[in-house]
Chains A and B, each alone.
Chain A
Amino acid sequence: MKIEYFETRANIELPEITKELIDLVKDKSIAIFSTVQFLEQRDNLATKLLKYCKIVNIKLAHCTYPDQILGCSSFDSEIIEKPELFLYLGDGVFHPKSLLLNEIADEVYCLPPINLC
């Protein structure tokens, strides 16, 4: 039996970044994770934040793409730099909770696209 995967990417455009977000990330090293649906928006967000902070790209175990997050995410052995701040762009809290449960992060800031758009 064959299995085919369809990533069902989101067709949305995020609004401009807010002052609150800039203040949160300013001068920090940050990681921005998202589910596969919002990876394009995640990259756009990272590009916009680049002038305010350092973006750390991380590939988590079992993921197809860098900066993608799963419900069972854990660090790959290749991780050499742990960011100071973790952001999650996506729906719900199922995925970011994996960062806490696997002790990757102590806290994660969630940016739900449905609230941002």
Chain B
Amino acid sequence: MNYDLEIFKVISKIKENNAKNVLLQLPDGLKPRAKEIVDAISNELDVNIFIWSGTNFGACDIPLHSENAGIDLILHFGHSLYKK
């Protein structure tokens, strides 16, 4: 299945947020494409990239505690914003 990883937007958002430590969070179906995203970011920007290996059941399933590890931006793939 061909999914649009929105690489251009990914790079724009990292720049816009002036992020240095970025966490990629992908649903299981997209985890095999994590390296593709890492490579695309690394080609453009000098940032530390981490990959969340835990769950991604929805936009309500965000590893907020990663902030304690110095993450300043989470790139969450596969869901839209969770409306309260």
Q: Do residues B73 and A2 form an inter-chain contact, with CB atoms below 8 A?
A: yes
Complex Cα distance A32/B49, Å?
Answer: 38
In terms of DSSP, what is the predominant structure of the interface of chain B?
A: loop
* Residue among A5, A10, A61, A94 making CB contact with B76, cutoff 8 Å: A5
Q: Which residues of A contact B67 (CB under 8 A)?
A: 1
Q: Do residues A36 and B80 form an inter-chain contact, with CB atoms below 8 A?
A: yes
Does A71 belong to the interface (CB within 8 Å)? yes
Q: Which residues of B contact A4 (CB under 8 A)?
A: 10, 13, 17, 73-76
Complex Cα distance A7/B82, Å?
Answer: 12
Q: Mark A46-75, 1 if CB is under 8 A from B, else 0.
A: 000000000000000111110010111000
Does B32 belong to the interface (CB within 8 Å)? no
Q: Which residues of A contact B (CB under 8 A)?
A: 1-12, 36-37, 61-65, 68, 70-72, 91, 94, 113-114
Q: Which residues of B contact A (CB under 8 A)?
A: 1-6, 9-10, 13, 17, 19, 29-30, 57-60, 62, 64, 66-67, 71-84
